[in-house]
Amino acid sequence: MKKLLLFFLLICCVPAIAQSEGQSFCGGDEDGNYFPLIKKKKLLWSDTWYVEEYKGDITLNGKTYKAFRQSWKNGTIDHMYLREEDGKVLQYDACCETETVRYDQFFEQGHTWQSEKKDVTYTLLSYHAELQTPYCNYSNLMAVEARYEKVTFIFYYQKGYGYVGAKNRDKVISCATPEW
């Protein structure tokens, strides 16, 4: 289940010490994208946390990806590989040597797509969603529903920052935190 959750957090999670100069923790960048290159950020997930950190570029199957390491509180390490092509953000699935579309700038509200392995169905719910976390009251977020066989999450992304949180059954279960 943890690997499944990581798959989605990432991008989000494509973090920098999380803001650009002059940007507040809760403020995004309207001119930015939903999956910016952020060097490092800390994310809460349920009753634990992890730090996501950009580790450089890596070539896999002849394509160059941005490599991210997700270091969990319990010492577990996961990796995520993302690249952008023609307005799409693609994630490399090491298990199967395939790519899954994480986002396409041409998707409109209501667009549905599946992971390459067909184990997750995504729906772009909104570009104007709101999310209240213990740290921020966000608005104008991109909300993406991810339906697995046994669980459904809604992931929230802010322009200029990326992943800011997730809900399960209308309850916030994950969010970015300024506390290190």
Q: Give the CATH number of domain 2-177.
A: 2.40.360
Q: Is the pLDDT of residue 18 over 90?
A: no
- The DSSP annotation for 8-75 comes to HHHHHT-BSSS--TT--TT---TTS-SS--BSEEEEEETTEEEEEEEEEEEEETTEEEEEEEEEETTS
Q: pLDDT tens digits, residue range 49-66?
A: 999 999 999 999 999 999
pLDDT of 171 reads: 97
CA dihedral 177, 164, 66, 73 (to 10 degrees): 40
| Domain boundaries, given as residue ranges, for the chain | 2-177
Q: pLDDT tens digits, residue range 92-137?
A: 998 888 999 999 999 999 999 999 999 999 999 999 999 999 999 9
pLDDT of 36 reads: 86
Q: What is the number of residues in the chain? A: 180
Element (H, E) at 2: helix 2-12
Q: In what order do the strands lie in the sheet with 121-132?
A: 98-104, 88-93, 77-85, 63-72, 48-60, 40-45, 171-177, 162-168, 152-158, 137-147, 121-132, 112-114
Measure the CA angle with vertex 16, ends 10 and 20; round to 5°: 130
How many CA atoms, within 13 angstroms, populate the side-chain half-sphere of residue 116? 14
The three-class DSSP label of residue 6 is helix
pLDDT of 23 reads: 55
Instruction: Using a pLDDT cut of 90, give the percent of the chain over it.
Output: 74
Q: Is the pLDDT of residue 170 over 90?
A: yes
Average pLDDT in the 29-50 region? 91
Work out the pLDDT band at 29, boundaries 50, 70, 90. Answer: confident
- Give the end-to-end CA distance of the chain in Å, rounded to a whole number: 25
